[in-house]
Structure 1
Amino acid sequence: MGDVQAGHIRFVTSDHSPCTPDLKETDAMNAWGGISGLQNDVDVLFDEAVQKRGMSYKHFAQIIASNPADLYNLDQKGRISIGKDADFVLIQPQSPYTLEAEDLEYRNKISPYIGREIGAQVYQTILRGQTIYSQDAGVSSEFTGKFVKK
């Protein structure tokens, strides 16, 4: 986390690399690489970086939004500004929960975060002005993603 805090790492993302449990039941050199982490990565990063280590909200927004958008020339993404896509992740700080397998939205209910207390929660996710996730309603059944060719 020190390199992230110091600015040596410009952004943190996830490739969400899911697998079945049997592909993880071997030694480290032969196990499937990656985790199903997309659902909880922002919660964990916010808790660890902002709440536990004092990263500023601005720096957090840079590493999860504006810096990746800049690197990949996604002009409509990464910032709150008139004319940009209205993409937001609303985080409820200081709201600890313990992640359980049944909380996972993906098919293979494995995660290194199961059993871990996470001190913040994503409360709502908005993509181009449309709510695609909320704690109250869960994941929207209508996904509005679109292919971005660069």
Structure 2
Amino acid sequence: MAIYDIVKFPNPVLTTPANPVKSVTPNVLKVLDNLAETMKYANGIGLAAPQVNILRRLAVVDVEDGRGRLDLINPVIVEGRDEAIGPDGCLSIPGLFGDTMRYRYIRVRMLDRSGQEVEIEETDFRARAIQHEIDHLDGILFTSKAIRLYREEEMRREANQKKG
């Protein structure tokens, strides 16, 4: 496996919609595995192919909830409900975080690793992470959806104030 270089904002690839995957090939599976390796190396919970300069509708998510990695191939949200404000951050915009409105429940249609169309249902933090990655595939950054943006230092300061 390989570790990709993560593209940083303001690279225009981050705001360019990705192209659908025509078929699940060994190369597509290799890209997914490399995305996962890169995500882990960068201490992330999700990574989309455009973030490594590959304009294909591919992403991986692993929120470390014991359910393992989820590979997303041509994902489309077909249902979403129960919006809630929550935290967002991005490996392509290090040190910047925000509060965004996202669905707590989603149903997603996509291809699995064998190329079969499947639908999955996800909730809470895993659903939030999937929506963030699908946004990347559509050329949308969390900063355009943020209700409030803050730097890492502000986040630490607020956390320390809550403790003390």
Instruction: Tell me the TM-score normalized by structure 2.
Output: 0.24
Hey, which of these two has a bigger chunk of helix by percent?
2
Structure with greater contact order relative to length (CA < 8 Å, sep ≥ 6): 2
